[in-house]
Amino acid sequence: MAGFRFKLEVVRRLRKQAQDTQRRAVAGAIRSVVRVEDRIARLGREVQSTLDGRREAQGVAHVDMACLRGHELYRGWLSYKTREARAELARCQASVNEERDKLATATKELKVIEKLRERQKARYDTWIRRQEQSASDEAALQTYLRDRGQSSTKVRIS
C-alpha cells in the first residue's frame, strides 16, 4: 500500500506559510514598538540632560539670556518630539494588536486543517488495522482448514 496521503496537504502548507508570515509580521511590529520606546527613552534622557545643563548654568554668576532661551527652545523641541514619538508608539501598538489578531486567525485556520488531517489519518489507520486483521483472520482460517483437512486425511488412512 502507498500509505496515508492527505488530499488537502497543499492547503495545510499554505496555511502554515500564512501563519509563519503573520508571526514575522508580529515580530516586525514588536520591533517597531521597541525602537519607538527606545527613542522616547533617549529623548527623556536628553530632556533631563538639558535640565541639568540649565541648572549648572544658573549656578554661574553671569546669566546668559540667549543661552537660557536656547535651552528653553531646545527643551520645547524635545517635548514636541517626545509627544510625536508617543503618538507613533500608540500607532505601533495598535499595529501589533492588529497583527496579533491576524496571527490568531491564521493559527485557528491552520488548526482546523490539522484536526481534519488527524481525523483522516485516524480513519486510515483504523482501515489499515481492519485490513491487517482481516488478512490475519484469513490466514488463520486457511491454516485451520488445512490442518483439519490433513488430520481428517490421516484419520481416513489409518
Domains of the chain: which residue ranges? 9-125
Tell me the average pLDDT across 1-30. 93
Q: Which candidate, 6, 1, 2, 4, places its Cα nearest to that of 115?
A: 6
- For 51-55, 104-108, 145-149, which range has the lowest pLDDT when averaged over its residues? 51-55
What is the second-level CATH architecture of the domain 9-125?
Orthogonal Bundle (1.10)
- pLDDT for 124 equals 95
Q: Which candidate, 14, 31, 3, 41, places its Cα nearest to that of 110?
A: 14
- When comparing pLDDT for 154 and 125, which is higher? 125
Rounded to two decimals, what is the model's pTM? 0.70
Tell me the average pLDDT across 136-149. 88
- When comparing pLDDT for 148 and 136, which is higher? 136
- pLDDT for 146 equals 86
- pLDDT for 158 equals 45
